[in-house]
Amino acid sequence: MASGILDLLPQGRYNRERDRPDGCAPRGSGIVTSVPDSPLIACFGEGLVALVPTTAGPLESNRTFQRSLAGAEWNVALAVASAGSRAAVVSRVGADGFGRFLLAELSEHGVDASAVEIDPAAPTGLYVKELSVEAEGAAPPRGGMQSAMHYYRAGSAGSRISPATLHTPAAERVLAEAALVHTTGITPALSDGARAAQDELFADRGDRLTSFDVNWRPALWQGREEEAREVLGGYVAAADVAQCSEQDAEAVFGTGDPERLRALFPGPRHLVITRDDGATAFDGTERADAPAVPATVVEKIGAGDAFAAGFLAGVLSGLSLSGCVARANRIATRALGSTRDHVD
């Protein structure tokens, strides 16, 4: 029997008015939520529209879906803004209703969308989420619904990201102002042009920091797994801040052990390995381990992006390593309480 999603949502766990950073307005207020003088974090990658069913069950049984913003880098941008820092997105969307929806969502959350190009020919990418509830007696990590994602992004506007995307007047302004640029392993898998653009961001970074989250998507690298290990490993090694889930690290690099990963990748100043039950972070040789914050879990998709946003905001705020992890854990819990991929 299908389960109503609204019945699974926690009540009273997060009070948006009480827990929002000082000086930040609630979503939908029309006021930019970030602190004006905070460092700018620019997020580079494809935005997607997610169609999320209102009940769990096979897609053929679902009649009603809710649309939501998605895309790893865009999720990070929204979480950065929700944490009180300034965020911008550099990307492309289609000249269609879904593209206009994504731009409106960025604006409503206080994210700078000026560097998002509108492609007159290619559509905005989307994916459909399929939800299932664990059988009675099963104990998935930290509980919650299980998800399967069905992507419809081939030939999308986001897949047509190229080095030219970085050289529009708006993108050049955003990148010149950014203290940090956040990227993932999804973008270089989309197309040769998208990979070339990400390579340029790493090669021509100037004084800004570069953040990279592996975000392993095996379907995007099908038949190119060895190439993926080399490409993604290269980005990790070159980043100032690198993040990977334990599961993704095992799939791509053959180990999820934090010490072994640190030995493999000594280059990034900050290396973060996330798990369902917590996280391990390095700042040089310093190590911090922290358990996950107790939370009611509806679904886990997007929690890693929220964690990344909290950690990056902490780094730019000058927090200690343990402080960065604590802030990241707190923000990640906010993505666990709904079937959306992002925090509000």
Question: Which residues have a catalytic role annotated?
Answer: 305
Instruction: State the Cα–Cα distance between residues 154 and 219, nearest whole angstrom.
Output: 12
What HEC string does the chain produce?
A: CCCEHHHHCCCCCCCHHHHCCCCCCCCCCCCCCCCCCCCEEEEECCCEEEEEECECCCHHHCCCEEEEEECHHHHHHHHHHHCCCEEEEEEEEECCHHHHHHHHHHHHCCCEEEEEEEECCCCCCEEEEEEECCCCCCCCCCCCCEEEEEEECCCCCHHHCCHHHHHCHHHHHHHHHCCEEEEECCHHHHCHHHHHHHHHHHHCCCCCEEEEECCCCHHHHCCCHHHHHHHHHHHHHHCCEEEEEHHHHHHHHCCCCHHHHHHHCCCCCEEEEEECCEEEEEECCEEEEEECCCCCCCCCCCHHHHHHHHHHHHHHHCCCHHHHHHHHHHHHHHCCCCCCCCCC
Instruction: State the Cα–Cα distance between residues 317 and 129, nearest whole angstrom.
Output: 35
Instruction: State the Cα–Cα distance between residues 324 and 313, nearest whole angstrom.
Output: 8
Q: In what order do the strands lie in the sheet with 48-53?
A: 65-70, 48-53, 126-132, 146-152
Q: Angle at Cα 201 formed by Cα 197 and Cα 203, nearest 5°?
A: 110
